[in-house]
Amino acid sequence: MRRMRLFAAAVLFCLSVACSSNTTSYSVLDHPNSGWKLVFRDEFSGRGRPDPDKWISHEYNRKQNSEGPDGWWLKDNVSLTGHGQLEITATLIPNRNPDQDDDPHDYASGMVSTEGKFETAFGRYEARIKLPQDPGWWIAFWLFADEVHLEDGSGEDGTEIDIVEAFGWNDVVSHALHWDGYDKHHKTENKKVVRPGIRSGWHVFALEWSETEYIWFVDGEEVWRSSAGGVSKAPKWIKFSGEISTQPSVAHQWWSNMPDDKRLPDRFLVDWVRVYEKKIP
């Protein structure tokens, strides 16, 4: 009997530890006195396509390569899992443009954005994410607007804000700003962060964007702050995306290697996304 009581106590202790370890929240939604007001959210419930009142998906040849397989954005590579998650998959697909090349196959991934649905300037942006396991493709949670293409020497008119990017390097994520377009006047600043274990389990990536600076967080810990180029004043939409490129120059710069075809499909999961504005005192 004493042994049974000890066993029961041990089980209760383990359960209490497990429960307590799961109570930590890195979302300000769970902290009513945080000073933030929720203005947008999606918990990604259901199956099939993401909510059309909140999201759009573009479909085209995103990463063309005249000397090898292309990397497409396809709507079929974006779906809800039925378990409360958005899923963007990386897949090996038949050559989609045989009239233009004789590639043995192509690759596909996908994207969603709130373009034309929800766009705002300033606030706090959060998403709970599980990174892909295959090192050969690039995922991102980012903010974008057409004003990013304007070239006036300042990021105040428009800046691409990358809340998190993962390029396939083990334990490395990146946070970045891009402004003055993407051609010869393009300017950028980024912060690469080594976080052991970042590709295991779920992690909350967040950005606080004010009139004077940007601040990035990973699992509640501040990892970078910047006002490079001048802080953008243009409203932006949210994007989640995955990309694959087989161009050697791009692959060498951003990816550790190409996806292993035998391991595909791989997936990028988003549990939820939330946006807040500062409460008026």
- Percentage above 90 pLDDT, the chain: 73
Task: Give yes or no for a contact between 110 and 74, defined as CB atoms under 8 angstroms apart.
Answer: yes
pLDDT for residue 11: 38
pLDDT for residue 258: 66
Determine if residue 168 is left, alpha or beta; phi over 0 gives left, psi from -120 to 50 gives alpha, anything else beta. left
Task: Give yes or no for a contact between 174 and 165, defined as CB atoms under 8 angstroms apart.
Answer: yes
pLDDT value at 3 more than 90: no
Structure-block tokens of residue 91: 């897949």
Query: Considering only 22-36, 126-140, 153-167, 228-242, which range has the smallest mean pLDDT?
Result: 22-36
Task: Give yes or no for a contact between 77 and 17, defined as CB atoms under 8 angstroms apart.
Answer: no
- Percentage above 70 pLDDT, the chain: 87
273's enclosing H/E stretch is strand 266-278
**For 157-212, how does the pLDDT look when each residue is reduced to its tens digit (9 = 90+)?**
999 999 999 987 678 899 999 999 999 999 999 999 888 989 899 999 999 999 99
- The C-alpha atoms of residue 109 and residue 266 are separated, in whole angstroms, by 10
pLDDT for residue 44: 98
**For 55-78, how does the pLDDT look when each residue is reduced to its tens digit (9 = 90+)?**
999 999 999 998 899 999 999 999
User: Which pLDDT band, with edges at 50, 70 and 90, does 254 fall under?
Assistant: low
**For 14-31, how does the pLDDT look when each residue is reduced to its tens digit (9 = 90+)?**
333 333 333 467 999 998
| Domains and their CATH numbers in the chain | 34-278 (2.60.120.200)
Average pLDDT of span 262-267: 86
- CB count, 10 Å around CB of 77? 24
pLDDT value at 38 more than 80: yes
> How would you classify the pairing of strands 237-243 and 78-81?
unpaired
254's enclosing H/E stretch is helix 248-254
- The C-alpha atoms of residue 151 and residue 265 are separated, in whole angstroms, by 39
pLDDT for residue 255: 57
